[in-house]
Amino acid sequence: MTLNKPEMAISYVCDDIKELLIHKNRKYGDSALKPCRVFSKASPTEQLLVRIDDKLNRIMKGAGLLATDEDVVNDLIGYLVLLKISMSKDKNDEILGTAKSIYGEGVKADGITFYT
């Protein structure tokens, strides 16, 4: 299927964010979705929400202006993608936990999951 210009732009931007996230994951490890938990015991989802709050707070205070800093936008999009992955994992874990409580520990997750 041939993409029109807006669809090509969407594809390009999404690919750019994907490459940024993969690069950071390789550089820093999987700290967003599997934190080391030295100080905080919060879930990965909660920790991502805190990171997003911090980023938005800096924008509101003028420390990271959206109009002049594309990195701020990329960071927010990246955090939101990671949040979506983490929330999907939370939902999968919840469903698996419910199934195990009903059917026992022999239940295994089948199908595609974003993250384990």
Question: What's the chain's average pLDDT?
Answer: 86
Q: Per mean pLDDT, which of 40-44, 59-63, 82-86 is the most reliable?
A: 82-86
Instruction: Give yes or no for residue 43 having a pLDDT over 80.
Output: yes
How far, CA to CA in Å, does 2 sit from each of 7, 11, 18, 50, 91?
A: 9, 12, 21, 40, 35
How big, in percent rounded to 5, are the helix, strand and coil portions of the chain?
Answer: 65, 0, 35
Mean pLDDT, residues 73-100 taken together: 91
In percent, how much of the chain has pLDDT > 70?
87
Three-class DSSP category at 29: coil
Q: How confident is the model at residue 62 (pLDDT cuts 50, 70, 90)?
A: confident
* Torsional sign, CA 115, 73, 28, 35: negative
- Structure confidence by residue, pLDDT tens digits, 69-85: 788 889 999 999 999 99
Please give the Cα distance from 16 to 57 (Å, whole number): 25
> Is 62 in contact with 47 (CB distance < 8 Å)?
no
Structure pTM?
0.79
Backbone angles phi, psi at 28, to 5 degrees: -110, -5
